[in-house]
Amino acid sequence: MQSLEAELERARALDVSELADAVETIGFECTRCGACCKSEADDPHTATVFPDEVRRLQEAAAAGESVGDTPSEGDAQDSVIGEDDTRDWRDVARPMPYGLVDGDEGPEGETFEWALQTDACGDCAFYREDDSGVGACSVHADRPLICETYPFSVDVGGTSQPMGEAVDAEGIVRAHECEGLGRDIDRADAESLAAALKERAVREVEEAIGVRDAYDPVSTDPGEVVVHDSEGAKRPDGSRTDD
């Protein structure tokens, strides 16, 4: 397996035009079905979010911004971020469940990523549907890179293990299950998506390097969860364990 540094070098060397070629070849148009935002088979929605992306959503809330593109004027499409609303870390993100175990007092242990927060149904907390079932992200303008680039990912080897069928000759760009695949996409949109794909690939490896370098094992008490990200060990509320 190549080193993270070699993986980062490969990610930074990705050619956006070539990525766009692959995206354009397979084609994509969002149908607003919401499948990528909902729980599946009783498994809660899990979308990785970087620490700075969590803070960006918090800042949007603190500023009273109505962020996001909505498909209708219906009440169901109101932004989750209101004029007088405030959001703390736990309103935006939760510990990624992978690596945690069920203890007597709930999930416990250590994990290495944050996931977007979910609602009581296990769907992304920022997903909304109108009366006709058309879905939208209520924080669309500030959505994480993983959401911006779905249903595509880039495999640069090493720690990146994206699922899905490879759609370019070298198997770098991969497409994941989505009913919007195969639809026409214009070149400008393909290039925009490709640029976001490259940024995500770079950010994922940089985060992995940061987690590796900042990792310091901690002892967890029953019912306690610790998330190790590139900024250090944190509690579920986003506060550092060494504070």
If you write DSSP's letter for every residue of 55-116 in order, what string do you get? HHHHHHHHTT---S--SSSSGGG--SS-TT----HHHHEEE-STT-EEETTEEEEEES-EEE
pLDDT of residue 24: 94
pLDDT of residue 155: 86
- Mean pLDDT score, 44-59: 92
pLDDT of residue 70: 37
The 10s digit of each residue's pLDDT in 170-184 is 578 989 889 999 999
- Mean pLDDT score, 206-213: 97
Residue 125 has pLDDT above 80, yes or no: yes
Distance CA 88, CA 94 (A): 11
DSSP result, 159-207: T----SEE-STTS-EEE-S-TTBTS---HHHHHHHHHHHHHHHHHHHHH
User: Which residues, 6 or more positions from 98, have their beta carbon under 8 angstroms from its beta carbon?
Assistant: 111, 113
pLDDT of residue 84: 45
Residue 36 has pLDDT above 60, yes or no: yes
pLDDT of residue 131: 84
Strand, coil or helix: 243: coil
Between 117 and 42, name the one with better pLDDT. Answer: 117
Chain centroid offset of residue 41 CA: 20
Lowest mean pLDDT among 29-33, 70-74, 202-206: 70-74
Lowest mean pLDDT among 1-5, 140-144, 204-208: 1-5
The 10s digit of each residue's pLDDT in 59-94 is 865 654 443 333 333 333 333 434 445 679 999 999
Under the banding of pLDDT at 50, 70 and 90, the label for residue 156 is confident
pLDDT of residue 105: 83
Under the banding of pLDDT at 50, 70 and 90, the label for residue 12 is very high
Under the banding of pLDDT at 50, 70 and 90, the label for residue 165 is low
Q: Are 236 and 227 in contact (CB under 8 A)?
A: yes
